[in-house]
Structure 1
Amino acid sequence: MGSTCKTLLWWSSPVSSMLAHLSDYDLVKIAEEIYADPARRDGRSLEDIVQQVVNASNGTDKLSGRLLTFPGAPDMYDHERHAYAAGPPLVGIFAQGQKLARAVDGFIVTTSCCFEPVGVPYCREFYRKRGQELFAVGIQAHELCWTDSAAVVPSDARVKAFLDRAVREYGLRSVLYISFGSLFFPVATPQLVEALLDTLLTLESPFPFIFSLGGQMASLPADLIHRVNTSGKGLVCDFWVEQRALLQHGAVGWFLTHGGFNSVSEALTQGIPFIIWPVGGEQPINGALLSAEPNPVAIELFQVRTGPQLGPSLHSNTEITGMVQAASEEFKATFAAARGARGAILRANAEKMTLALREARVGEAAEEFKRLIDF
């Protein structure tokens, strides 16, 4: 198409996590340098070393407790950087993404300064110094996501009936919606998923919930699904549900999510706060960002990590064990907080963020689209 054709990389997540994935270190180059030294190679294949470099995320092939800094998001230690509940990080995506990021003329990111007041300006300047441009085009979701229309309703009769009944029996914003998205699921920790459902089913004060199993990796034992669906307290949907319609139903008040930004974006258009269970990818950074002061919109779960903590945590004051009992206790405490004073603060913050994002959509984000067109 010629040398004047511009190429851009679309990143549908916060810019803080984009830097962490695409720009911090040249993962393949680091692995190749280690592999070239027989002593450092220590009998490993190049593929094994690349995986270990990705896991460490600190410029080496070993976790060392190094502090990692992300502009606009909370710092974390290298051992806090990844969640392994969906399996180890996908090396190919990291390596090819870095290669692509060095070659493009710019980046389109679905965020705004109102959401990332530090991250967006920092990254814009960072990439300009590399001769690249960054366009922060705002939260991009279907037009109907931005409406308050009661006409947007779930098409499945079971889902609609459950939500309508929850409003009658428990009131508006009483339902917890659970989904790990279309690509992820905590397959490495099924015992913690079962503990989550056991906790919800045995709460003294019911917290009605809908659990969507729409993802490719998502599954639950048949007997557990039957137990939930006959309890009257929850509904497991082992079929595709229209997430947008659920989030816009007046019954849904909380979203337990992996922190993937497509899900986050859809919920933020409706002012719904989060409970974050990071599973993989950029989700630990997203969870830290969404739960950070001064205006958090989420509670982040920590006892759902895959195994005991490898070192100190900058975000949790309790020892992370990865055990079922600890996770169950955290679930109970989190649900109590969500339905108490802390939850009210998070909901107010989420509603303010929704208004800011709507204003940005016709203001800042619209101007960014004009810049993109001119580019």
Structure 2
Amino acid sequence: MPACLNDYDFGAIAREIFSDENKRNGRSMDDILRQVIVAWNGSDKLSGAIVKFPGAPDMYDHERCAYGAGPQEGFELILPTAHTLAKAADGYIVPTSACFEPVAVPYCRELYKKSGQELFAVGMQTRALCGQDSAPVALTNETLKLFLGNAVATYGANSVLYISFGSLFFPTTTPQLIDALVNTLLNLAKPFPFVLALGGKMAALPKELIERVNSSGKGLVCDFWVEQRAVLQHPAVGWFLTHGGFNSISESLAEGVPLIIWPVAAEQPVNAAFLSSGPDPAAFELLQIRTGPQLGPSLRGGPKITGTVEDAAAEFRATFEDARGAKGATLSANAIKLAGVLRETAVGEASEEIIRLAKF
């Protein structure tokens, strides 16, 4: 993620466009800045250009932009300031490591050396990996505890799909696709029990849908606080459907739980592409849930992205079938293996980086 702060000077690009009456075209500075940040290609428009991230698959510029959470107010202020700070900083502290990003970490380290800056890759900073509170976390909500306990008894261990879009995001621009997700799960011939946590301020479902899920015996909508780490540690849970934010990714992989990623904002599309590719993927990436300029072909292949309810529902069904088949078993094994590597790194490579930082 720090590399994006050096790709382009968003503020300078926006100021140059704003200063030209023809390029400005009646827009405010904030509007232009927002469009420059969304395009993320040195201009204020998506062009279909191929962009590269070290270690992640190449993609079109529109593929790395997510629109599911709607306009992200404040990003147009944060990122230009962050770019200014990045140029002046002595270095970067990043919550990752070369074992997790074997291409990106060395690449960024060499990139920053050229400008006299240091990179400290201190590893994923989750409590499970940092040795604090390493004992399992207890669930405090009795309804959730009962649902997960019944799922283990009825369907076995690792049978539950946990769904959460984090504390900051939710697919607010495509409520019809959230409905399709829930209805697909409720109508599967082979039940895939699920817990859907409404944890963020943007997260909401119609009351009728919540009542239908909670009365079905197949799912539980939690419109109350959920201890995410406790859920991911529970023996009932085998999959995590997430927006792909780095905090959620870290918590899931620290527990060895594979992912189904529905990116909705920020760097999440890049995270989804990275984790679902390579020799040892640990995630499925959903594509038909995309909207706006993301519709159309993907550079990574597959069917044309339409964003329709019908195609999204078909992708949900196929993904859930694969998750409980041979491909899902492979992704699960990769996630468990990665959890072990991350724990070793926390007391090895990452610990050494923290010591190097302390002496810097």
Q: TM-score, normalised by structure 2?
A: 0.96
Q: Mapping of 1:257-276 within 5 angstroms?
A: 257-276=242-261
CA deviations on 1:86-123 (whole Å, 9 max, x unpaired) are 11343122222212211221111111111000100110
Query: 1:157 and 1:310 mapped to 2: Cα distance?
Result: 42
Distance 1:240 1:268, change over 3 A: same
Q: Secondary structure at the match of 1:206?
A: coil
Indicate the residue corresponding to 1:344 in structure 2.
329
Indicate the residue corresponding to 1:170 in structure 2.
155
Query: 1:26 and 1:197 mapped to 2: Cα distance?
Result: 41
CA deviations on 1:130-173 (whole Å, 9 max, x unpaired) are 11111101111114886997753211111111111111110000
Over the matched positions of the two proteins, sequence identity in percent amounts to 62
Q: Secondary structure at the match of 2:170?
A: coil
1:96 aligns with 2:81: yes
- Which runs of 5 or more residues in structure 1 are unaligned? 1-16
Q: Which segment drifts farther, 29-38 or 273-282?
A: 29-38
Following superposition, the deviation at residue 85 of structure 1 comes to 0.8
Q: Secondary structure at the match of 2:125?
A: coil
Q: Mapping of 1:120-199 within 5 angstroms?
A: 120-143=105-128, 151-199=136-184
Indicate the residue corresponding to 1:212 in structure 2.
197
Query: 1:205 and 1:239 mapped to 2: Cα distance?
Result: 28
Q: Contact between 2:35 and 2:44, CA under 8 Å: does it hold in 1?
A: yes
Q: Contact between 2:128 and 2:134, CA under 8 Å: does it hold in 1?
A: no
Match of 2:284 among 288, 299, 311: 299
Following superposition, the deviation at residue 42 of structure 1 comes to 2.3
Q: Contact between 2:129 and 2:342, CA under 8 Å: does it hold in 1?
A: no
Query: 1:52 and 1:308 mapped to 2: Cα distance?
Result: 13
Q: Note the aligned Cα RMSD (angstroms).
A: 1.7
1:27 aligns with 2:14: no
Q: Mapping of 1:1-375 within 5 angstroms?
A: 17-20=1-4, 22-89=5-72, 90-143=75-128, 151-307=136-292, 309-375=294-360
Q: Contact between 1:145 and 1:270, CA under 8 Å: does it hold in 2?
A: no
Q: Secondary structure at the match of 1:255?
A: strand
- Which runs of 5 or more residues in structure 2 are unaligned? none
Following superposition, the deviation at residue 310 of structure 1 comes to 4.4
Distance 1:198 1:150, change over 3 A: farther
Matched letter for residue 116 of structure 1: E
Q: Secondary structure at the match of 1:74?
A: coil
Matched letter for residue 70 of structure 2: G
Q: Contact between 2:136 and 2:230, CA under 8 Å: does it hold in 1?
A: no
Q: Contact between 1:112 and 1:138, CA under 8 Å: does it hold in 2?
A: yes
Q: Secondary structure at the match of 1:183?
A: coil
Q: Which segment drifts farther, 190-199 or 86-95?
A: 86-95
Q: Which segment drifts farther, 149-158 or 250-259?
A: 149-158
Query: 1:177 and 1:171 mapped to 2: Cα distance?
Result: 15
Distance 1:112 1:337, change over 3 A: same
Query: 1:367 and 1:159 mapped to 2: Cα distance?
Result: 40
Query: 2:128 and 2:307 mapped to 1: Cα distance?
Result: 40
CA deviations on 1:40-61 (whole Å, 9 max, x unpaired) are 2222222222122112111111
- The size of the alignment, in residue pairs, is 358
Q: Contact between 1:146 and 1:269, CA under 8 Å: does it hold in 2?
A: no
Q: Secondary structure at the match of 2:7?
A: coil
Q: Contact between 1:308 and 1:322, CA under 8 Å: does it hold in 2?
A: no
Distance 1:61 1:274, change over 3 A: same
CA deviations on 1:314-371 (whole Å, 9 max, x unpaired) are 2341111111111101100000010001101101111111111111011100100110
CA deviations on 1:197-227 (whole Å, 9 max, x unpaired) are 0000000000000000011111101110000
4+ residue stretches of structure 1 with deviation over 6 A? 144-150
Q: Contact between 2:127 and 2:134, CA under 8 Å: does it hold in 1?
A: no
Q: Contact between 2:120 and 2:354, CA under 8 Å: does it hold in 1?
A: yes
Q: Contact between 1:360 and 1:366, CA under 8 Å: does it hold in 2?
A: yes
Q: Which segment drifts farther, 32-41 or 356-365?
A: 32-41
Query: 2:53 and 2:84 mapped to 1: Cα distance?
Result: 20
Following superposition, the deviation at residue 39 of structure 1 comes to 2.4
Q: Contact between 2:50 and 2:60, CA under 8 Å: does it hold in 1?
A: yes
Query: 1:253 and 1:293 mapped to 2: Cα distance?
Result: 22
Distance 1:91 1:312, change over 3 A: same
Query: 1:148 and 1:314 mapped to 2: Cα distance?
Result: 43
